Chains A and B, each alone.
Chain A
Amino acid sequence: MNRKIYPFPAIVGQDELKKALVLNVINPSVSGVLIRGEKGTAKSTAVRSLAEILPEIDIVPECPYNLSPEDSARVCQICGREECSENKRSVRRRVPVVELPVGATEDRVVGALNLEHALKGGERRFEPGLLAWANRGILYVDEVNLLEDHIVDVLLDSAAMGVNTVEREGISFSHPARFTLVGTMNPEEGELRPQLLDRFGLCVTVSGMKDAEKRVEVIERRLAFEENPEKFMESWQAECDLLRDKITAAKALLPLVEADRTSMMRIAVICMEAEVDGHRADIIMLKTAKTLAAWNGRKAVSDEDILEAAKFVLPHRMRRQPLQQVGRA
């Protein structure tokens, strides 16, 4: 499949959105991002563009669960393909971006009984679904607030555990399903369930740009892209490479980044003042601040990192008064 993808750096403005996505690429444990905003604000474009700048990972060839060779040695009796565990071949692949369409049925999301094996061989075998493909990758849900409730339940389960457990249709099976959840929503169409809201590590609100000059730029770039995608993509190649290199460097630096006690206390105090539920905000804010430090090429978390992290982590977690908008901090 050779889809034409709009280059990520070519998106005009929307800096917060772009940064939130990049932070997730550098450190998937930041746990995803929820993008709130009106229609036509490059929400989906940004997520799809992301695919191009994602780093590569080692994957066992043709493994439906995107397992790494080490993983497959540890967990894999899953599909009974001996070649996986025996010869540890691996291929380099881009981090997968899997899109979960709003109308998806549960069996396609979690997986189901493999019909062919059941009917021909009388065997009970598992047919992997979207959650399997999204393992170690990004699971993208456009209009996540329109998702059916029972699909949300399944997402919550897997997102929390990093494992997809299937106990249905005669199948008893579980497999790793660690993914970065990226969702977009237009708040006018209804809110998210609180539990799902909390699963998104970060939250950004996007809106149309007010600056006429920038709006013109949006139109011009879009037209240039539509007219000749190849040429447009080529002209942005250098920027893309630059970004990818910066991400790779940040990823390498991340394990060395440290936050001192004062920084952590600051985080705790901010979260308590915001009256967030539970402790997930603290944990995610620390991770985000560290990732920001790495992105900026530093080994120590600074106050600015913490304040910037708070802007991403808190808006959807503040205890709202009943009628207060999400994100209206």
Chain B
Amino acid sequence: MKTVHQPVFPFTAITGQDDMKLALIINAVNPRAGGVLLRGEKGTAKSSAVRALGALLDKPFVELPLNISEDRFLGGIDIQAAVKHGRNSVKKGIAADAHRGFLYVDEVNLLDDHIVDLLLHTASNGFVQLQREGVSAEYPAEFVLCGSMNPEEGELRPQFLDRFGLAVQVSSSGSVADRVMLMENRELFDNEPESFIKAHEDKENSLKKRIADAGELLPFVSVSQEIKTHIAETVLAANAAGHRADIIITEAAKAIAAFDKRTEVTKEDADKAAEFALLHRRNEMQGSSPEGGENSDSGEDKDKKEQSEHNEQKSKGSKNENSSEADASPEQKQNEGSETETVFAAGEPFRVRRVEAPKDRKIRRGSGRRTRSRTSLKHGRYVRSSDNRRSDDIAIDATLRAAAPFQRFRTAPDGMAWALKPEDIREKVREKRTGSFILFVVDSSGSMGAKSRMSAAKGAVLSLLLDAYQKRDKVAMITFRDKKAETALSPTSSVELAERKLSELPTGGRTPLTSALNEGKKLTDRYLRHNPDAKPIVILLTDGRANLSFEEGQNPRKEAAQAAELWAKDQRIHFIVIDAEKKGLVDFALAGALAEQLGADFFEINELRADTLLNAVKRSINE
């Protein structure tokens, strides 16, 4: 493999970040600690630290690029050997290159699902089993998995998360002296990397020796019964699933002891190890547990949400030092200030759960992160190949690999090295995520509670857009009151635009429901014309009391029913009706009837707030 050697910032020159460095060292000393996941804000030397460690050790250190293809991960037939020498041999993938070393994935939360699957499979097996393209092979692939990620860009699947033995929450330093030192070192390194590296050579060498010594000492480190019990109790208290955590804590604690030149694990070693091993395994409500997957939070917003959830505890309790929650306090203060209610203020935005339409096999187009689907255009990432011909998107590499085993028996045409047959041809299977389109249709007529409805709907729109920020969704909003319905917000993914457009919307007047349904249909029709494979979600927030007809002289309710049925004909649209009727003495159940006409999911919400609204929506979509 040809590699470019870039000067690497020395491990020992990294300022602060002791936990991160220790977690990495633990894995260098004892691979059984199971790898490490570094989570944290951008620009905190996460990837620099991993790469620095890689440069320090005499072990394979392999990086897995995000756009890796299957054949390069697992391996495949060596086309060059096949066609030049008529030999069917295997070109191993990087899983094998990483054997007995480190495999590092930067931005691990952006890794494509199909590679994650292969990675998980390989990591749990410890070897690669290759059965493809006329070659079969098996080779060892035991590696320490290291990942780094910025949670702003989304979370890991729980199963993937569990694959990392340890996890560290990394944040920036709050000390001026540290920050200055960091700047100085960085400038020195950037200006003259060689001499900077030279200046740190002694330190690097002694760390390297200390790690090697610790590795030798490791088999002699013992764990007393008392410590074992302590570990088990710690894991139980954290309510972590399974027994993996116990084992990992024990192994990591042994590494800490060995690195400290001791042969006995202390309670402190175990506690430190538990901190790393339980960060992502804790099954409690409290804390910055990254698991669950249902919260694809951006860091800051998550902090905010947690803050509001745990406000009371925090105001009495001590300051939480080791999670990012502590950082968010000033933000929250500002926020409280800005929340003085104007009449039509948006409901407070909050984090939403991940809405994910089920992955289907339909070929569709679009760009976004929410829905992953196969794509028919030559866009999206080439994820694997197939001999199922549908387009002319030929996968040359796969085609050649398919043809390679037969080259011995075929004669290539003049000037060509290959004899290709139609059955060799492979096509690229591409995958990309399509954003969703969510349309809110909100009743802003004079019936009771119009203002709180508007506020809740605005809050929901803005929250969805914050979420959409990561997912490439588009959101639109139609309001209806008085004479007619109006498109208050055309489909957009811009939070700013939505904020501006939704800032002032009048309420009051009669309920032109038919007009709203027609307007909504127009909008989804237009959207579906451009994005025929999209699956729009329409959320209708009304009490259903249509009292203004579209055409003069018509019965408004009958007319609305017809419009609803017409709109519902498009199977691609998912409807949700939320009953905004204030519960009183008489229950008209008009919204329920409307839901039936639309074939919609139906919710009644007693206290309409943006978050209850959204959660209802999400639940409905996830089912």
Chain A positions within 8 Å of B, measured between CB atoms, are 29, 74-75, 77-78, 103, 105-107, 110, 113, 115, 118-124, 148-150, 153-154, 156-157, 160-163, 165-176, 187-191, 193-195, 198, 255, 261, 264-265, 267-269, 271-272, 275-283, 286-287, 319-323, 325
Contact A163 B43 (CB under 8 A): no
CB distance from A116 to the nearest CB of B (A): 10
Q: Does B31 contact A (CB under 8 A)?
A: no
Please give me the residue from chain A that is nearest to B16 by CB atom: A279
Contact A193 B153 (CB under 8 A): yes
Closest 8 CB pairs of A and B: A278-B43, A122-B83, A280-B43, A122-B417, A268-B179, A277-B41, A168-B69, A169-B397
Contact A174 B2 (CB under 8 A): yes
Contact B174 A272 (CB under 8 A): yes
Contact A148 B494 (CB under 8 A): no
Please give me the residue from chain B that is nearest to A269 by CB atom: B176
- Sampled A-B contacts (28; CB under 8 Å): A120-B417, A122-B80, A123-B84, A167-B69, A167-B72, A168-B71, A168-B72, A169-B395, A176-B4, A188-B494, A191-B469, A194-B153, A195-B150, A261-B180, A267-B183, A272-B179, A275-B327, A277-B41, A277-B44, A277-B172, A278-B44, A278-B172, A282-B182, A283-B186, A286-B187, A322-B301, A322-B349, A323-B466
Measured CA separation A255–B47 after assembly (Å): 27
CB distance from B489 to the nearest CB of A (A): 12
Contact A174 B380 (CB under 8 A): no
Q: Does B250 contact A (CB under 8 A)?
A: no
CB distance from B298 to the nearest CB of A (A): 7
CB distance from A94 to the nearest CB of B (A): 24
Measured CA separation A255–B192 after assembly (Å): 11
Measured CA separation A193–B499 after assembly (Å): 19
Query: Contact check: which of B71, B184, B382 meets A106 at CB < 8 Å?
Result: B382
Please give me the residue from chain A that is nearest to B186 by CB atom: A283
Task: Please judge, given known A-B contacts A149-B369, A149-B433, A189-B494, whether A320 and B183 are in contact too, CB under 8 Å.
Answer: no
Contact A153 B66 (CB under 8 A): yes
Contact A153 B107 (CB under 8 A): yes
Which residues does chain B contribute within 8 Å of A122, judged by CB atoms? Answer: 79-80, 82-84, 417-418
Contact B5 A75 (CB under 8 A): yes
Q: Does B583 contact A (CB under 8 A)?
A: no
Contact B65 A167 (CB under 8 A): yes
Contact A149 B330 (CB under 8 A): no
Q: Does B304 contact A (CB under 8 A)?
A: yes
Which residues does chain B contribute within 8 Å of A157, judged by CB atoms? Answer: 65-67, 106-107
Q: Tally of A-B residue pairs with Cβ under 8 A?
A: 230
Fill in one digit per residue for B110-142: 1 if any A CB lies within 8 Å of its CB, else 0. 100000000000000000000000000000000
Which residues does chain B contribute within 8 Å of A119, judged by CB atoms? Answer: 416-418
Give the bracket for the number of chain B residues in contact with chain A: 35 or more
Contact B183 A118 (CB under 8 A): no
Contact B176 A268 (CB under 8 A): yes
Please give me the residue from chain A that is nearest to B466 by CB atom: A322
Please report which residues of chain B, range 13-56, place their CB below 8 angstroms from some CB of chain A when the two chains form the complex. 40-45, 47
Chain B positions within 8 Å of A, measured between CB atoms, are 1-6, 40-45, 47, 63-69, 71-73, 76, 79-80, 82-84, 91, 94, 106-107, 110, 150, 152-153, 172-174, 176, 179-180, 182-184, 186-187, 190-191, 298-301, 304, 327, 330-331, 334-335, 338, 349, 367-369, 378-382, 395-397, 400-401, 415-418, 432-433, 462, 466, 469-470, 472, 492-497, 499
Measured CA separation A120–B378 after assembly (Å): 25
Which residues does chain A contribute within 8 Å of B432, judged by CB atoms? Answer: 148-150
Contact B378 A105 (CB under 8 A): yes
A165-B63, A198-B43, A261-B180 known; 19 new pairs, CB 8 Å cut-off, are A105-B378, A119-B417, A120-B415, A149-B472, A167-B67, A168-B382, A169-B71, A174-B3, A175-B4, A188-B492, A189-B494, A190-B493, A194-B152, A264-B184, A277-B44, A280-B43, A282-B182, A320-B300, A321-B335
Please give me the residue from chain A that is nearest to B328 by CB atom: A319
Contact A277 B42 (CB under 8 A): yes
Contact A150 B381 (CB under 8 A): yes
Contact A194 B79 (CB under 8 A): no
CB distance from A76 to the nearest CB of B (A): 9
Measured CA separation A195–B6 after assembly (Å): 23
Measured CA separation A312–B608 after assembly (Å): 43
Contact A323 B184 (CB under 8 A): no
Contact A161 B472 (CB under 8 A): no
Measured CA separation A253–B153 after assembly (Å): 40
Task: Please judge, given known A-B contacts A168-B69, A269-B176, whether A123 and B80 are in contact too, CB under 8 Å.
Answer: yes
Measured CA separation A156–B105 after assembly (Å): 13
Contact B79 A118 (CB under 8 A): yes
Contact A190 B1 (CB under 8 A): no
Please give me the residue from chain B that is nearest to A126 by CB atom: B2
Which residues does chain A contribute within 8 Å of B368, judged by CB atoms? Answer: 149
Measured CA separation A271–B401 after assembly (Å): 53
Please give me the residue from chain A that is nearest to B304 by CB atom: A322
Contact B94 A167 (CB under 8 A): yes
Measured CA separation A157–B400 after assembly (Å): 28
Query: Contact check: which of A75, A171, A187, A198 meets B72 at CB < 8 Å?
Result: A171
Which residues does chain A contribute within 8 Å of B301, judged by CB atoms? Answer: 322
Contact B65 A170 (CB under 8 A): no
Contact B68 A278 (CB under 8 A): no
Measured CA separation A253–B94 after assembly (Å): 45
Measured CA separation A26–B71 after assembly (Å): 42
Task: Please judge, given known A-B contacts A106-B381, A124-B80, A198-B42, whether A168 and B183 are in contact too, CB under 8 Å.
Answer: no
Task: Please judge, given known A-B contacts A168-B67, A188-B497, whether A275 and B330 are in contact too, CB under 8 Å.
Answer: yes
CB distance from A28 to the nearest CB of B (A): 11
Contact A169 B494 (CB under 8 A): no
Which residues does chain B contribute within 8 Å of A162, judged by CB atoms? Answer: 6
Measured CA separation A189–B490 after assembly (Å): 12
Task: Please judge, given known A-B contacts A75-B5, A110-B67, A172-B1, whether A120 and B416 are in contact too, CB under 8 Å.
Answer: yes
Please give me the residue from chain B that is nearest to A281 by CB atom: B43
Contact A286 B65 (CB under 8 A): no
Which residues does chain A contribute within 8 Å of B42, judged by CB atoms? Answer: 194-195, 198, 277-278, 280
Task: Please judge, given known A-B contacts A272-B179, A275-B331, whether A161 and B338 are in contact too, CB under 8 Å.
Answer: no
Which residues does chain A contribute within 8 Å of B367, judged by CB atoms? Answer: 148-149
Contact B41 A278 (CB under 8 A): yes
Which residues does chain B contribute within 8 Å of A161, judged by CB atoms? Answer: 6
Which residues does chain B contribute within 8 Å of A279, judged by CB atoms? Answer: 43-45, 172-173, 179, 182-183
CB distance from B459 to the nearest CB of A (A): 11
Query: Contact check: which of B4, B40, B107, B397 meets A195 at CB < 8 Å?
Result: B107
Contact B176 A272 (CB under 8 A): yes
Which residues does chain B contribute within 8 Å of A173, judged by CB atoms? Answer: 1-2
Please give me the residue from chain B that is nearest to A191 by CB atom: B469
CB distance from A74 to the nearest CB of B (A): 8
